[in-house]
Structure 1
Amino acid sequence: MAILPLGASAQGILDPQGPVAVGERQILFNSLGIMLAIVIPTIVAILAVGFWYRASNSRARYLPDFNHSGRLEVLVWSIPLMTVLLVGGVAWLGAHELDPGKALPARMKPVTIQVVSLDWKWLFIYPDEGIASVNQLTIPVGRPVSFEVTSAGVMNSFFVPQLGGQIYAMSGMLTHLQLQADHAGTYRGMSAQFSGDGFADMHFDVDAVDAGSFARWVEAARNEGSALDAGTYTYLTKPSAGIAPVTYRAVTPGLFDRIVAAEMNHEEICTRTSMRER
């Protein structure tokens, strides 16, 4: 009980800040309630049986020849069967309702963000805005965000606990995740998949801001920093940890698609990008 207040104040799945996270928490609570409806009576029954059949209770009947009871069999098997059906039903319905690739209901067009996991940092490309950032994710409040996730190295897991959803980033593959922040704030993002020595530093802040602040951030990013071209990307692919957040004012067209291309190594990406620029 003393630990509960500490857990409630932490930035985690029990403090949702978006519709996906709220739905996932509800699935957790529903599953917990169903299981407690079984666990609590079972614990009470164990204590009651032990108390009733104690040696000093002369009213308890001793039946040494008892070997079968149809009623007990029905009771013993029906309870776990109902548990499996109820918990499985909740998980099945929730998995379809919160499908990572399913678009969130909204009147506004989603913000598309392309995510690349590197050793040991996160690269975020905003294709519609023409900018990019490393270890810094800024999104508008109340507007869906459509993530396209891949990896330029080993497998990682993209996870923002308070916004919900966890999706794997895999080399040569593209996964999708739909999230939304309902409240302004800074939320912790991380990798939930161990990926080597720099894993502990592979985290980032998600800044959820209003539409005006988001537009100003985009404009500021377009007017400062360097461009994310072939040479910059090659530098980013080198293993490094604890990288400070940085933005890029422009992105070479088609870079993300070439990163996703199956089994394309860094040298091939740089060569093809340079040839296209020429």
Structure 2
Amino acid sequence: MNILDPQGPIAAAQKTILIDSIGIMLAIVLPTIAAIFAFAFWFRESNPRATYQPHWAYSGRLELVVWSIPTLTIILLGGVAWIGSHQLDPARPIDGTGAPVRIQVVSLDWKWLFIYPDQRIATVNTLTVPVGSPLDLELTSGSVMNAFFIPQLGSMIYTMNGMMTRLKLRADNPGTLQGLSSHFSGDGFPNMMFDVQVVPQLEFPDWVARTAQTDRVLNAESYGKLAQQSVETATSTYRLEDPRLFHAIVTQQIPAGPGPKLTSESVQPHIGDHDVR
């Protein structure tokens, strides 16, 4: 999950912004550190050339330097952030070499559900995408708020119950990447990770065909069981019975999950007879 090893155009652009921002900030940090040592060396007690000016109060040139450098730094950082935030709008379409793939993402306690409505399949804790294709992700939460993040593809984005967010990504190289939840959501949060399998364009239809042969069926009933709190250590695949299942989740036609609960009796709220007044 090395953010400095991008595998897509969004992550590559974000890496550039990160490095540029650090460089701009170092332009003021490094001279300041150097000035500290320079002043300490020059105004040491043993230096007879250092002048003592007890009545000095103001220098226009010094004020110009002190205020102009931070101002320029803020302008540069603001410009980088402003331009980058518009160019890297999560919902902004991106080009690709293959047909776009629509994927519906649902964060649960404590697992990830990926629905491919056009292919009529779904997977848990594993995301398979064709290399070079624009990925059109629609995201929501089936429980508490969470955050979806594939560091090497970029653009962390929140998932919220009753809302849908959009994210456009693209993977440029075949291989296996790692995704994770980047927002705390209870006891199983550390295990909310998923694999991202980036496969060649010609292999993606074969994967879809194999996945569609599974015996598991995803519908409102099986989704209700899947939404219960559990940590899934293995991946699983489903045939999608209702392509409007994601819409039912977003519009809360299917009730949201219970959310994280306290698991230790020692931290459960307790009121004894002696507490009642």
Alignment TM-score > 0.5, same fold: yes
**What is the identity, as a one-letter code, of the residue corresponding to 1:50?**
A
Match of 1:207 in 2: 197
Match of 1:231 in 2: 221
**What is the CA distance between 1:107 and its match in structure 2?**
5.1
2:148 equivalent to 1:167? no
Match of 1:68 in 2: 58
Unaligned runs of 5+ in 2: 258-277
Q: Secondary structure at the match of 2:225?
A: helix
**What is the CA distance between 1:183 and its match in structure 2?**
0.5
Aligned counterpart in structure 1 of residue 134 of structure 2, from 136, 144, 169: 144
Match of 1:97 in 2: 87
2:27 equivalent to 1:37? yes
Q: Secondary structure at the match of 1:55?
A: coil
TM-score (norm. length: structure 1): 0.90
Matched-pair contact (CA < 8 Å) for 1:110–1:146: yes
Matched-pair contact (CA < 8 Å) for 1:141–1:184: yes
Closer, same or farther: CA 264–227 of 1 in aligned 2, 3 Å? closer
Matched-pair contact (CA < 8 Å) for 2:123–2:235: yes
Matched-pair contact (CA < 8 Å) for 2:133–2:171: yes
Q: Distance in 2 between matches of 1:249 and 1:213?
A: 19
Matched-pair contact (CA < 8 Å) for 2:161–2:256: no
**What is the identity, as a one-letter code, of the residue corresponding to 2:46?**
S
**What is the CA distance between 1:266 and its match in structure 2?**
5.2
**What is the identity, as a one-letter code, of the residue corresponding to 2:240?**
A
Matched-pair contact (CA < 8 Å) for 1:234–1:266: no
**What is the CA distance between 1:109 and its match in structure 2?**
3.2
2:123 equivalent to 1:133? yes
Aligned counterpart in structure 2 of residue 191 of structure 1, from 157, 181, 189: 181
Aligned counterpart in structure 1 of residue 14 of structure 2, from 24, 33, 40: 24
**What is the CA distance between 1:251 and its match in structure 2?**
3.2
Matched-pair contact (CA < 8 Å) for 1:171–1:263: no
**What is the CA distance between 1:146 and its match in structure 2?**
0.9
Q: Secondary structure at the match of 2:122?
A: strand
Closer, same or farther: CA 48–58 of 1 in aligned 2, 3 Å? same
Q: Deviations over 1:97-121 (max 9, x none)?
A: 1110000123543211000001100
Indicate the percent of aligned positions where both proteins have the same amino acid. 53
Q: Deviations over 1:223-274 (max 9, x none)?
A: 123110121111101100134101112231311001001585159xxxxxxx
Q: Distance in 2 between matches of 1:263 and 1:97?
A: 35
Q: Distance in 2 between matches of 1:244 and 1:205?
A: 11
**What is the CA distance between 1:12 and its match in structure 2?**
1.7
Q: Distance in 2 between matches of 1:64 and 1:209?
A: 72
Q: Secondary structure at the match of 1:142?
A: coil
Matched-pair contact (CA < 8 Å) for 1:132–1:251: no
**What is the identity, as a one-letter code, of the residue corresponding to 2:24?**
I
Aligned counterpart in structure 1 of residue 77 of structure 2, from 66, 70, 87: 87
Aligned counterpart in structure 1 of residue 236 of structure 2, from 243, 246, 251: 246
Q: Secondary structure at the match of 1:248?
A: strand
Q: Deviations over 1:188-211 (max 9, x none)?
A: 100000000110111100000101
Match of 2:263 in 1: none
**Residues matched between the structures, number:** 257
Q: Distance in 2 between matches of 1:62 and 1:139?
A: 70
Q: Secondary structure at the match of 1:178?
A: strand
**What is the CA distance between 1:45 and its match in structure 2?**
1.0
Q: Secondary structure at the match of 2:202?
A: helix
Matched-pair contact (CA < 8 Å) for 1:172–1:263: no
Q: Secondary structure at the match of 1:211?
A: coil
User: 1:97-116 to 2 correspondence within 5 Å?
Assistant: 97-106=87-96, 108-116=98-106
Q: Which has the higher helix share?
A: 1
Q: Distance in 2 between matches of 1:250 and 1:128?
A: 10
